[in-house]
Structure 1
Amino acid sequence: MKQISLLLMFLVSFGYLQAQKTTIKPAYGQTFWKEDFSDGKLPTGWNFICKNDSTLNWTVTDQPFPGSYAHSQQAPPIASKSRGFHLQYAPGVRVDKAYRKWKKNNAWADASVQTGAIDCSNKHSVVLKFQQNFMWNDYGGIRKDAGLFVEVSSDGTTWKEYDVRNGIESEGECANPMNIELNITKYAAGKKTVYLRFSWRGMYAWYWMVDDIELQESLEADLAAFDITSHKSTGNSFTKQDVFSFSVINLGAEDIKQRFDCFLKIDKREPVKVSVDASAQKPFKVIDTLKVSFPSVDLTDIGIHRIKFYTSLQGDKRASNDTLNRVLYSQAYSLGEVTNVTKGENEVLFACHNAQLKVIFYRDDIFRMWMAYDGEFTNPAGNDIVINAPIKPVSLKWTDEGSYYLMSTPKLALRAFKSPLRFALYRADNSTLIWEETKGLTYGEQTVQYVNRGDDEYFYGGGQQNGRFSHRGKKIKMNIDYNWEDGGNPNPAPFFMSNKGYGALRNTYAPGEYDFQQTVSLSHTEARFDCYYFVGNTLQDILGSYTDITGKPFLMPRWALSMGDANCYNRGAKPSSSNSTGTKGTTPDVIKLIADNYIKNNMPRGWILPNDGYGCGYTKLDSVVKELHKRGFYTGLWTESGVEKIAREVGEYGTRLCKLDVAWVGPGYKFAIDGVKSAYEGIENNSDARGFVWSVCGWAGSHRHSVLWTGDQSGSWNYIKWHIPTLVGSGLSAQNCATGDVDGIFGGSDSTYTRDIQWKCFTPVFMTMSGWASNNKNKIVDKQPWLFGEPYTSINRKYLMLKQRFTPYMYTLCNEAYETGVPAVRGLLLEFPKDTLTWGEEKTKYEYMLGKSLLVAPVYKSEGKRDGIYLPEGKWFDYWSGETISGGKTLNNYPAPLDKLPLFVRGGAILPLYPQMMYDAERAADTLTLDIYPAGQSNFTLYEDDGLTREHRKGAFAKQLFECTGECDGVQPILFTINPSKGEYKGKLQERVYLLQIHVAKKPHRILINAETAKGSKSKEKFATAAEGWYFDQTDRNGVVTIKTKKFPVASKINFNLTF
């Protein structure tokens, strides 16, 4: 995980310091000058110096680096102590368009910002401190003198410079913030005029942020443990006589003239002390460095050693730099042979010399392998990832089979080979292989498991892997990489599953890599191994087991299925920089600018984030929430740095959603898990509502509390294309709510917006992000669905309205995810596991099932057709025309003009629809439409609850089974049954009208409802005015008979019999 970093640089003239002592009285450790840019403007006396491009310079801003024209590499703002406004230089904004011109002219994006004169004339010593965040790269090449330089001068002419990149290479990850400390005494102490300069030099990209600059005097006594000089972090060859050496530095303002001690503690051994005999006659001078060595030790017992080196100086004024903790790794170690075995009731402990490995069975189909290289079992993740580890009675049998030990349950057989220790997993018959380690675990800086790959074995999961869902023959990263583009992994999860019938979860926050080549290698950068295994007959079984222990995906409030809208509407409330997004008014302006325009343009709506933008804030939030709710919107808040105000925002003002910024959850891993949990519980602890949170940088377990969105990208055809497999892959890690912004936050166009919104209406959640699309093809920076005019407005409205009608189907699927872990957006392999063409990505990469009934094939090219739509075996219906299609084929040249999303209904589908509403619960859902596609025997169970509160967790919900038997050929009879709704919740309708739309080729001869003949209408007009009855329309989607019932109690059973 990313840590706050400290860079120390020491350059001082010792004779100069000694001369100053007689004339200057030191103010040890006192800050005498600082600047945090809280005024939002360049301080008086400072100036910007631009070398080559007058349009590009340093700024004082409260915004992040906004993203380059082509790469959209938006950065978080610097997470400095003061936050808010900071110094920023961002040549990456221009690099895509300008660097070729710059390079041709031998011009570089060099620029500096310089302070006014600072008086250090009465200072005994001077230490410069500041916080920074940056990313640089060698895009387009760099000069030999390139760097990020801090410069010091006492005359404005001669400068001492320091490159403060701290060894971070091109596109390397910088701590946020990185703390810098430079001892500039030689160049500043005793000087009347001192100037500081921050200079970007010899590079084209990307950005540098600086904040909280301070000058202070050194502490009186400050002895620092600086570095280990005898050993490397990795690749050591440990011997029986290793000698440790360290360097210490005197950072204090005075020479050390007394004896001090240094200690070395190795693993659990007793500390060893070495004393340094400093004295008045032999002082340890200021900024001097001293080597400290210890007697030789034997390090051959294990391959990893934890070293603690610390100093003890009487009167030391800073304890934080007294200690060095290091972990030293040798080459990869193998566990070796089994030296002892201990069997417990539901676990077996294997000893391999100093290492131990424990196998724990939690259920007959779930077990854990847990290795401790030094025999001490640790769990750094605690209960964050695995929140339920139910120990049920396990029928565990144990036998010694000669070359291996056998652990078996009614669901599996696990072999533990003795020399060396390695494992193989079989079905319960102990002959059907699931996986086998090709060699034993290795540990060191990384712990790696090596597993065979089956001939027809495919792998899925890994969390949100942009542009991918099937991983055979590929490598996937298990780390937070802040890459929001195709190939990135913005929300990884250390979980995968195989079509051989198993899944695996590494219980860790350590980053890793999974390589699914011929030999599968599964590595994480930690010295321990901790993995849960799940055995099942189907991938759906494995998702169920995985979410049994990590928690089920959250069930959102029903209104959250509608589209969200985000921007900043409060820039006029306080100063902001020129590159900040959003409107210049205050928060109440969102009502007339956005909410009223949704109504004016007759657009369905769900929720609004009125403060989306760094430093945006809000004004009069309480009244805004009320007014938005009157117009059908719920209100959420974009959260930059914490949820300390959430009690008031939720409990008093009525907000119901949090979107967490990358600057807060940015390190990811545990930070993200804790962040989304805190926000989710903040909503629930201050209201009766359900939590609803959006975030990025998630990990295994984030699916319990958060929508996991892919970050910030530019809308384009390729953006649509790679998001399709991204959402499929997310679902295969139980991330039921996964999405990207409609047409991206940047870029986009009229047609890509419409194509993107079409298919995202057939996913659980989605939103638009306005204010950032300055490079939009149509020069429109906002993303509301009416802004591009006709025909786009009408098409967007059509799909948003269809999204609202499909609410009961989508909500039922989301509850299914909440109960089982199986997502709403499904790769075809989940519904057609025996179809080998669904296993990989060649045939089905750009399509998916929504539940078990709908196949969605988005258009991702600028054309009016769609190629490569694979329909598995079975009967299918074109949703728009009603045409029946036999599966087991690929459709090419499928007509798909701009207003048509390729959408196919699986034979046997029963699709529930609510009456048309512009927002959730606008009216009572007292008429339930059932869109029925007969094909043999089928059923659908509708789930309903109050849609708002958490009472469903206490059993306050209802389920209703619908069953259909028959065919659509107009020959065989069709039997349809509406079973009683079972269960209760507050606000449940006690009766409703049912409107059946049955797709059938011919007009029925007779329709019976509960054995009574229903009256048919001769025209559509008469049927529209009839209280009940039926009507057959041959021109409606290849033939549809519509049956309208009277109001029936929902507790009643209704049978429909259609004969031909």
Structure 2
Amino acid sequence: MQIIRHMVQADRLLLETTSGRIMLVPYSNKIIRIRYTLEAEFSTQESLMITGLPDSKIPFTVEDRDSHLLFSTTELAIRILKKTGAFTYLDASGAVLTKEPDRRGKTLVPMEVTKSVFDESANIEAGQGADGLRVRADNVRKVIDRKAFHTKLEFEWMEDEALYGLGSHEEGVMNLRGTHQYLYQQNMKAVVPALVSTRGYGIVVDSYSMMTFRDDAFGSYIWTEVDDEMDYYFIHGPEMDSIVHGIRELTGKAPMLPKWTFGYVQSKERYTSQEELIAVVREYRERGLPLDCIVLDWKSWTGELWGQKTLDPERFPDPKAMVEELHRMNARLMVSIWPIMNPQSDNNKEMNENNCLLGNQATYDAFQEKGRQLYWKQANEGLFVHGIDAWWCDCTEPFEADWHGSIKLEPEQRMQINTEEAKLYLDPEFINAYSLLHSKGIYEGQRQTTESKRVVNLTRSAYAGQHRYGTVTWSGDIAANWETLRKQIPAGLNFCATGSPYWTVDIGAFFVQNKPDLWFWNGDYDTGIQDMGYRELYARWFQYGSFLPMFRSHGTDTPREVWRFGEPGEPIYDAIVKFLRLRYELMPYIYSLSAHVHHYDYTFMRALSFDFRHDPNTYNIGDQFMFGPAFLVNPVIEPMYYNSNSDVLEGVKKTRDVYLPVGTAWYDFWTNRIFEGGRMIEAEAPLDRIPLYVKAGSIVPMGGSIQFAEQRTDDNRHIRVYTGQYGTFDYYEDEGDNYNYEKGAYALIPMVWDEENRTFIIKEREGSYPGMRQNQSFNLTFLGVRDGDGSLKEAEKKTQIYYTGNYIEIMVKDL
């Protein structure tokens, strides 16, 4: 690919080459869009993931040098070899961020795109899979629809860099270097085609077909199966938060979720009646155990009418009264809905009458606006009108085809069988986008219906841009064993690194027992909660889950309510309740972080390199993470007390190794003991505790003992200040569950710890909202003191202040 000529236009650079055309468009000083085509014109197809528009006022220069062109903004430059068209990406100082191979970096291979024709020869059969109704068609005729391209974007990644992203995948890889990954939607895959690098850049690929990422013996590249052209965005940070900000500039802001979303969500497979739902919530309240939401899983419909968006009148005789009673107890209701509908159901028949079904005559066509609007109409009239609070959009990869048999197929076989099944019903260019469009329909439908209730949508699949529709993605139907718990941690960190902020798991795993005839039903605990080994695993999973964006228990085979794991005074029960209460004590901190996610494009479940990018020791750590700016979370991922079958373990240390990143001191949250960073320690980890450390300079607002997230008590707010370095925190409040925050109805209280002057500053309150407390007391706890040699020593000082919204300074000379 040789550059023949270049043309500088007002807002772009066009390159004519011996093998097609390339366009570079600055979207900001830090973001450049690159497109490559073999056609005479670039595609006019509208993006499904990108909502940001280029800033035509961004200045850029193009220098024509002997061997290359240099395209530059004030923050980012691309050097383009004239001989081969290969790109080298540079920061403003000229330092190389990454580069393509000098021989060539971009390849388009023409291919023919086929589509399915569902005529009288097609056979349609319905069956029950492990995760619900599946309706499949066979003997489907294929015809050539158009021509497109395989695309291949190659890189020479640097030896010292780590790569993260691509979504949530069951393999549990942290640093993607030296690995490969197939990107397609599947029960335990949630795809987001974005990469971030510790060298300070990110890449977003605007493609919806099956993709491959490789960094192995076959090369280092991103490959897409079907695209009209190559289309991607290069983002310069250099910090990880700046990269995520750039991703959200392109794909949209994450809206605020309601405050209750950050409380505890109780679910299982499954609650079957109105009485059972109410009884479970009532018991939580009677036991004084915090709870914010209960979930109604599948088969809430009548009989075998799978996917019908109405409740069975025999088991749920008065849905409105049921929801009102749950609300009276300050609990919310989330209901599972499905994109696939039994052909005998009224919902299916209405979809069919409006030509809104895909070729299997059971799954609605989320790519049609008419289909999305009709789906919302059905959900609204059948469920939302009764007052339900949240959606569980299950099975949003509706054409999975390999969840059967005793043997798990090879990765290439799984990729082939699942993508071919999807391509029977969807355009091959868009098989990864179903969940994105499905989520769009739910979000837009609810927002048009009411502004008083924020959209919450728990989905099993994801894609770039889906976060703007109020979604939380969970990791799929995983199995109960320690290896799975370990792998979930890096899976979630990589998902959140893509700019998608809300991710969670089934605490305790979905499948608990082992069924040899089904490869995926491979838990280690056939007697469920009767097995002390499972109780220990569940307690450790629960502790980890209390530091996830959504805190939710779910699964089959065994009950999940807290009291099923013992009674007060028993170690496992007490360990679970301790972290349940801690989650609620941290609610002011957590809800403030959720506001940071919306207002500042923040990420609160953070790979260590987000905050310690210049500490290479953090790059491959996949079992520790930051929860916001303050907490270093270190889940326990090995048994210490029991194996399965309640076998008692002897002589096992109750500790785990923890790496404390360099550049700061760390406080043990439980003891306030102080450790210097840059070293590995052996941390105490008894059953009722995971190693939890707080970074020096952290300001942590906390609440008292509450039973639900929005409970307002007369208790003072507690502010912990972990001294040792300068720190800030914006404490946020609003009404909790409407969209008035978009109109400015919220309050921020900026807080600063000035380490040099040993002064804590609470600045003037910014903004207001209906129902806001004008005045409140703060209980302040200052931890740590500078010793004579300048080192940080343990100490504690408490005081109380009365805050009226005005500026306050508190000098803490001695503790």
TM-score by length of 1: 0.59
- In the alignment, residue 221 of structure 2 is paired with which amino acid? S
Match of 1:769 in 2: 554
Structure 1: how far apart are the matches of 2:325 and 2:79? 65
Name the stretch that deviates more: 498-507 or 429-438: 429-438
CA deviations 1:539-583 (Å, max 9, x no partner) are: 221111111111123321110001112346xxxxxxxxxxxx554
1:534 CA drift (Å) = 0.8
- 1:889 corresponds in structure 2 to 679
- Report the equivalent of 2:661: 872
Distance 1:633 1:798 in 2: 21
| 8 Å CA contact 2:545, 2:552 repeated in 1 | no
Partner of 1:600: 286
Q: 2:84 aligns with which of 402, 411, 420?
A: 420
Question: What are the equivalent positions in structure 2 for 1:403-418 lying under 5 Å apart?
Answer: 403-418=67-82
Q: Which moved more, 1:509-518 or 1:684-693?
A: 509-518
- Report the Cα distance in structure 2 between the residues aligned to 1:556 and 1:665, rounded to whole angstroms: 26
Q: Give 1:633's aligned amino acid.
A: A
Distance 2:205 2:744 in 1: 33
For 2:765 and 2:93, the matched residues in 1 are separated by 43
Asked if 2 retains the 8 angstrom alpha-carbon contact of 1:990 and 1:1051, the reply is no
Secondary structure (helix, strand or coil) at the match of 1:793 reads helix
Cα 1:880–1:649 change in 2 (3 A) is farther
Are 2:387 and 1:657 aligned? no
Is the deviation greater in 460-469 or in 608-617? Answer: 608-617
2:610 paired with 1:945:
no
1:935 to 724, 729, 742: 724
- 2 CA distance for matches of 1:858 and 1:845? 11
Partner amino acid, structure 2, of 1:745: F
1:323-358 Cα distance to aligned partner (Å, 9 max, x none): xxxxxxxxxxxxx32334332111122223572221
- Letter of the 1:480 counterpart: Q
Q: Structure 1: which 5+ residue stretches go unaligned?
A: 1-335, 485-489, 569-580, 774-780, 968-972, 1004-1036
In structure 1, what is the equivalent of residue 196 of structure 2? 497
Q: 1:941 to 1:698 in 2, by over 3 A?
A: same
Q: Distance in 1 between matches of 2:251 and 2:261?
A: 23
CA gap 1:698/1:925 in 2 versus in 1, 3 angstroms = farther
Q: Distance in 2 between matches of 1:637 and 1:882?
A: 42
Deviation per CA, 1:580-636, whole angstroms, max 9, x where unpaired?
A: x554xx3243112x1112123221101112243475652222111110011121112
Instruction: Please tell me whether the aligned partners of residues 396 and 459 of structure 2 are also in contact (alpha carbons under 8 angstroms).
Output: no
The 8 Å contact of residues 914 and 925 in structure 1, kept in 2 or not, is answered as: no
Tell me what 1:698 maps to: 462
Q: Aligned pair 1:524/2:313, yes or no?
A: no
| 1:562-711 mapped onto 2 (5 Å cutoff) | 562-567=263-268, 582-583=271-272, 586-592=273-279, 594-613=280-299, 615=301, 618=311, 619=316, 620-641=318-339, 642-648=375-381, 652-662=385-395, 669-687=432-450, 688-705=452-469, 706-711=471-476
Counterparts of 1:296-335 in structure 2 under 5 Å?
none
- How far residue 436 of structure 1 moved from its aligned partner, in angstroms, is 3.2
State the Cα distance separating 1:409 from its structure 2 match. Answer: 1.6
Task: Kindly name which structure, 1 or 2, has the bigger radius of gyration based on alpha carbons.
Answer: 1
- Match of residue 582 from structure 2: 802
Counterpart pick for 1:992 among 769, 773, 776 = 776
Measured in 2, the distance between the counterparts of 1:340 and 1:888 equals 52
Alpha-carbon distance between aligned partners in 2 of 1:721 and 1:889, rounded to the nearest angstrom: 22
Rounded Cα–Cα distance in structure 1 between residues aligned with 2:654 and 2:491: 22
- Cα deviation per residue 1:733-767 (whole Å; 9 max; x = unaligned)? 12211111110122162111111111211122121
Q: Tell me by how many angstroms 1:975 deviates.
A: 2.2
| 1:373-402 Cα distance to aligned partner (Å, 9 max, x none) | 22232255x232001123241211123212
Name the CA distance, whole Å, in 2 between partners of 1:431 and 1:808: 41
Report 1 or 2 for greater relative contact order, CA contacts < 8 Å, sequence distance ≥ 6: 2
Partner amino acid for 2:388? T
CA–CA separation in structure 1 for the residues paired with 2:95 and 2:278: 67
**Conservation of the 8 A alpha-carbon contact between 2:201 and 2:235:** yes
**Alignment-derived partner of residue 255 in structure 2:** 554
1 CA distance for matches of 2:100 and 2:714? 54
Deviations, residues 454-493 of structure 1 (Å, cap 9, x unaligned): 12122111122331231111112222133x2xxxxx1111
Give the equivalent residue in structure 1 for 2:212. 513
C-alpha displacement of 1:1052: 4.5
1:721 aligns with 2:486: yes
Counterpart in 1 of 2:698? Answer: 909
- Shift of the 599–704 alpha-carbon distance from structure 1 to 2, 3 Å rule, reads same
Partner of 1:160: none
Taking a change above 3 Å as real, the CA distance of residues 734 and 431 of structure 1, as seen in their structure-2 partners, is closer
Aligned counterpart, 2:562: 785
Partner SS, residue 341 of structure 1: strand
- Residue aligning to 1:117: none
Counterpart residue type for residue 341 of structure 1: H
- Cα distance in 1 between the residues matched to 2:226 and 2:803: 62
Any idea what SS the aligned residue of 1:845 has? coil
| Amino acid aligned to 2:182 | K
Q: Could you tell me how far 1:732 is from its partner in structure 2? A: 0.8
In the alignment, is residue 836 of structure 1 matched against residue 616 of structure 2? yes
Deviations 1:180-220 (A, max 9, x none): xxxxxxxxxxxxxxxxxxxxxxxxxxxxxxxxxxxxxxxxx
Match of 1:152 in 2: none
Change (3 A) 1:367 1:475: same
CA distance in 2: counterparts of 1:965 and 1:822, whole angstroms = 23
- Alpha-carbon contact 1:881-1:1038 (below 8 Å) kept: no
* 1:977 CA displacement: 2.0
Amino acid at match of 1:455: E
Counterpart of 2:57? 393
What amino acid does structure 1 have at the position aligned with 2:485?
I
1:792 deviates by: 2.4
Q: Residue 366 of structure 1: CA displacement?
A: 1.2
Distance in 2 (CA, whole Å) between partners of 1:758 and 1:458 is: 28
Q: Does the Cα contact within 8 Å between 1:604 and 1:797 map onto a contact in 2?
A: no
Alignment partner, residue 544 of structure 1: 245
Equivalent residue in structure 1 for 2:765, among 981, 995, 1007: 981
Distance 1:350 1:849 in 2: 43
Q: Distance in 2 between matches of 1:682 and 1:426?
A: 43
C-alpha distance in structure 1 between counterparts of 2:740 and 2:259, whole Å: 14
Deviations 1:959-994 (A, max 9, x none): 112222349xxxxx8422222211111111100011
Q: Displacement, 1:649?
A: 5.5
Q: Distance in 2 between matches of 1:679 and 1:363?
A: 31
Q: CA RMSD for the aligned pairs?
A: 2.4
Cα gap change, 1:917 to 1:783, in 2 (>3 Å): same
CA distance in 2, matches of 1:387, 1:541: 18
Conserved 8 A contact 2:655-2:686: no
| TM-score normalised to structure 2 length | 0.76
CA distance in 1, matches of 2:684, 2:61: 60
Q: Secondary structure at the match of 1:525?
A: strand
Correspondences of 1:465-476 after superposition (within 5 Å): 465-466=169-170, 467-476=172-181
Instruction: Structure 2 unaligned segments of length 5 or more: list them.
Output: 112-149, 303-309, 340-374, 400-421, 423-430, 513-524, 526-533, 641-652, 788-792
Secondary structure in structure 1 of the residue aligned to 2:595: helix
Between structures 1 and 2, the one with greater helix share: 2
Q: Distance in 2 between matches of 1:337 and 1:721?
A: 48
Cα shift at 1:525: 0.7
Contact 2:396 2:460 in 1 (8 A): no
Count of aligned pairs between the two proteins = 652
Q: 2:39 corresponds to which letter in structure 1?
A: D
| SS at 1:449 equivalent | strand
Letter in 2 for 1:634: R
Contact 1:368 1:531 in 2 (8 A): yes
Q: 1:437, 1:820 → 2: CA distance?
A: 36
Match of 1:792, SS state, is helix
CA contact (8 A) 1:650 1:683 kept: no
Output the amino acid matched with 1:766. F
| 1:960 is the counterpart of 2:744 | no
* Secondary structure of 2:539 counterpart: helix
Match of 1:1055 among 805, 810, 814: 810
2:41 to 376, 392, 401: 376
